[in-house]
A and B are shown apart, each in its own frame.
Chain A
Amino acid sequence: MQRRTLIIGSGTCARNMAEDLLSLDIEIIVAVKDEGPDFSLSNHTQHASAEVLKHTRLVKCRGSVGDFTVFMDQKGETVERNVSNIIIAEEDTREPNFALYGLAPSSHIISSSQLKDLLNSPGEGALLSGEETIVFLSGILDESNPVITKEIMLCSLRLQSEFKKQIYILTKNLKVAGDGLEVLYRKTKDAGVVYFKFADASPSIEQNRNGRAHIAFNDEVTNQQFRLTSGITVVDETIKPSDYLSELSKILRVDRDNAGFAQTGNVHRIRVLTNRKGVLAAGPGRAVQSAEEHMADASNAVLRVLEFFEQEEPEAIINKAEINRSKCVRCLTCYRRCPYQAIQLDTKPVVVQEACEGCGICTAECPKGTITIKGLSGSEISDQIIKPDSVNSGKIFVPFIVAFCCRRSAARAWELAIEAGHNLPPGLRIIELPCAGSISYDHIFAAFKKGADGIMVITCHEGNCHSEKGNIFARQRADMVFEFLTQMGFEKERLIIKSLAANMAMEFSEITSGFEKQIIDLGASRIKPGG
């Protein structure tokens, strides 16, 4: 297999990963959407080559982990390459918050990036030399973050000590949750920076006809009113994914967060994973974070790539899905449902074994039942549904409860509950599923047919599902069964769907014991086992 990785991006994170992968004998292609910085990558070995493509944007991607074919546009020409992994490390953008504060940029109202440029350019601009006072507006209407705060503090430190300006920083909550920020905060105060913080009220901010900001506010500590009509006003910025970054996620079919970054907040993706095997999100492509965090991402992404090439045995044996081509009617439901984008179209859909996570959503969703995963068939599941001995013994009604448990959350919580010695219904039988999304009507009805008095479907919390939507599909399935049971004249209360997390042993005990009580009230199921 070729050892080649595509890195999309040109910042320090991307360059770091490029160098690192090369040192590990892994070929790299770096796709930079514009001219980008100077890429002087050392060719570490005679085997590994490095290709830097400038003015190159991704337009299409086919294939799966280990075998991606990427189509890129380079100044109108199509460039096609074959790679095993793709790392999205595309730079974010800074949107100055002029509009947010009701201001328009002018010679006296600038953004923090403009200020940085001024400070770093030779001859620092007549703009600064005329003014004594500089006011920073940060995190007043929307909350800020430590990355922006650090920049503002560093800038103000320079302005105060080198340029002898008087700096005022106006903010709501001062963001110091970053390494060294409390100390930096103190340093700025040593230098003479003055902070005004607001709890609920906000300063009134207007723009004069001469383009200057007129800021008036009440200092909440002294109840003294202040105003500023002169000096320079610096507005902060919001860090956002660039349009290209958002586009990349769509092209590569990776789930995005609400801001548009190429990774959701799903904890199973920690640190650089996406929903798609072989596609990673690192640095500025992944989230709003500091330069040090970018570097940590780089190391983690390299590890993921290294592991892909080096790992001899997979950590856990996963049973993968297979589509029976002859029975498949090409409805493309599986293709659309697969959360890992592990199904490719080759006239008919085909499961890419490398990318399949064995969640079973496709097997449950397929309207024709043409997809199989070892261990998940109706009969295989049915075989596991055995009444515990305690159910048969004695005259007291011990409900037979079948709990379909997601192996990542509910089943783990069950194990912890046993370890902790929590109360569990004696008639409880756990059926472990790779994902709650793999539960099918067959499974549920098999349980009833085997004599279950009550059935539980226990999923991960919304947003916590490794398959991102498995719990939602499970919920849809359950809702359909509720409907069906009602029409049948059967107690729909015998089916329940709940969510919990892997670390909540007590909750597992509570919900199962609670359900048992409900079933005791309902009495034994009228469905006789067999048939």
Chain B
Amino acid sequence: MPKVSEIIDLDQLDPRQFSTWPFSQDYCVTCGLCSSSCPISGVDDFDPRKLVRMVSLGLKNEIVESRWPWICTMCGKCEYVCPMDINIPGLVRNIRAIRERDKVPGILHKGLDAAIRTGNNLGLPKEDFVFILEDVGEEVAEEPGFEGFTVPIDKKGAHLLTTIHNKLVNTHTDDLKHWWKIFYAAKEDWTVPSDEWEGTNWGLFTGDDEAMKTMVGRIANHMETLQIKNLLWPE
């Protein structure tokens, strides 16, 4: 069983290090309910209770360097069952936030970096994005009952703005059609932005509040610029 660290002197420990964190982590009674419920308990020796305990004990280096906080899917089942109401997903996120940005695990870091620079996790240029949307839009228009369908892009004054998950313009373009058919049948007056359209905000997962704010800010900006009052953000 991998150890967290070499033997630690209690005298060197600073359990108060994270005491200001608002997740009630110190109230843990080590009942093990979280670990018993977690769907990935046991993967690489991870279990959520360990993280709560490490924060409570102030094991800062260990917690920042550990892979465990990044294995968590933040599904929230642990929080649901915890009798002490400890916000474990929130705790996990905070641990992620204190790691240096360039040490954030590869794909999350790369994707978020791309999103901040280019407006989407893939770094997909605007023309390519529009091309894909129109292309799929044409396929929809060919289906019976959807004659005349078009994808409204950057439509000012529309009723509803929606974001796009990057996989829908990458590996799962067909899944775009489900939403669009519903909009069409409901005669919804909707639109997507041509730029800075990314709905998958990985700042949530990497504990990067600044990045989260930037990306949310972009969508808010669209709503102001396009004068749209309603937002659909299916994440």
Are B3 and A225 closer than 8 Å at their CB atoms?
yes
Are B15 and A194 closer than 8 Å at their CB atoms?
yes
A186-B27, A189-B27, A197-B30 are contacts. A222–B15 as well, Cβ < 8 Å?
no
Instruction: Give chain A interface residues in 111-126, CB to chain B under 8 Å.
Output: none
Asked if B11 lies at the interface with its beta carbon under 8 angstroms from chain A, I say yes
Are B15 and A166 closer than 8 Å at their CB atoms?
yes
Are A222 and B30 closer than 8 Å at their CB atoms?
no
Instruction: Give chain A interface residues in 305-337, CB to chain B under 8 Å.
Output: none
A194-B57, A224-B59 are contacts. A189–B30 as well, Cβ < 8 Å?
no
Asked if B43 lies at the interface with its beta carbon under 8 angstroms from chain A, I say no
Are B49 and A221 closer than 8 Å at their CB atoms?
yes
- Tell me the total A-B contact number using a CB cutoff of 8 A: 65
Closest to B45 in A: A223
A229: which B residues are within 8 A, CB to CB? 9, 11
Other 15 A-B pairs with CB < 8 A, given A216-B7, A224-B3, A226-B8: A133-B10, A166-B13, A192-B15, A197-B30, A222-B50, A222-B59, A224-B5, A224-B62, A225-B6, A226-B7, A227-B10, A228-B9, A229-B9, A230-B11, A231-B10
Q: In angstroms, how far is the closest chain B Cβ from the Cβ of A111?
A: 21
A221-B50, A222-B53, A224-B59 are contacts. A190–B26 as well, Cβ < 8 Å?
yes
> How far does the alpha carbon of A189 sit from the alpha carbon of B16 in the complex, in Å?
11
Asked if A239 lies at the interface with its beta carbon under 8 angstroms from chain B, I say no
Asked if A168 lies at the interface with its beta carbon under 8 angstroms from chain B, I say yes
Instruction: Give chain B interface residues in 16-61, CB to chain A under 8 Å.
Output: 16, 19, 26-27, 30, 49-50, 53-54, 56-57, 59
Interchain Cβ contacts under 8 Å between A and B, 13 examples:
A166-B13, A168-B10, A197-B30, A219-B53, A219-B57, A221-B53, A222-B54, A222-B57, A226-B9, A226-B10, A228-B10, A229-B9, A231-B11
The residue in A135, A190, A225 that gathers the most chain B C-beta atoms within 10 A of its C-beta is: A225
Asked if A493 lies at the interface with its beta carbon under 8 angstroms from chain B, I say no
Interface residues of A (CB under 8 A from B): 132-133, 135, 166, 168, 186, 189-190, 192, 194, 197, 216, 219, 221-231
Which are the 4 A-B pairs with shortest beta-carbon distances? A228-B10, A225-B7, A224-B4, A221-B53
Other-chain residue from B5, B19, B27 in contact with A192 (beta carbon distance below 8 A): B19
Asked if B1 lies at the interface with its beta carbon under 8 angstroms from chain A, I say yes
Q: In angstroms, how far is the closest chain B Cβ from the Cβ of A365?
A: 55
Other-chain residue from B3, B8, B9, B27 in contact with A223 (beta carbon distance below 8 A): B3
Are B11 and A221 closer than 8 Å at their CB atoms?
no
A194-B56, A222-B50, A223-B3 are contacts. A189–B26 as well, Cβ < 8 Å?
yes
Q: In angstroms, how far is the closest chain A Cβ from the Cβ of B172?
A: 40
Q: In angstroms, how far is the closest chain B Cβ from the Cβ of A185?
A: 8
B49: which A residues are within 8 A, CB to CB? 221
B30: which A residues are within 8 A, CB to CB? 197, 221
Q: In angstroms, how far is the closest chain A Cβ from the Cβ of B207?
A: 21
> How far does the alpha carbon of A231 sit from the alpha carbon of B13 in the complex, in Å?
13
Q: In angstroms, how far is the closest chain A Cβ from the Cβ of B103?
A: 22
A166: which B residues are within 8 A, CB to CB? 13, 15-16
Q: In angstroms, how far is the closest chain A Cβ from the Cβ of B1?
A: 6
Closest to B32 in A: A221
Q: In angstroms, how far is the closest chain B Cβ from the Cβ of A212?
A: 11
Mask of B99-115 contacts with A, CB within 8 angstroms, 1/0: 00000000000000000
B11: which A residues are within 8 A, CB to CB? 132-133, 228-231
> How far does the alpha carbon of A230 sit from the alpha carbon of B53 in the complex, in Å?
23
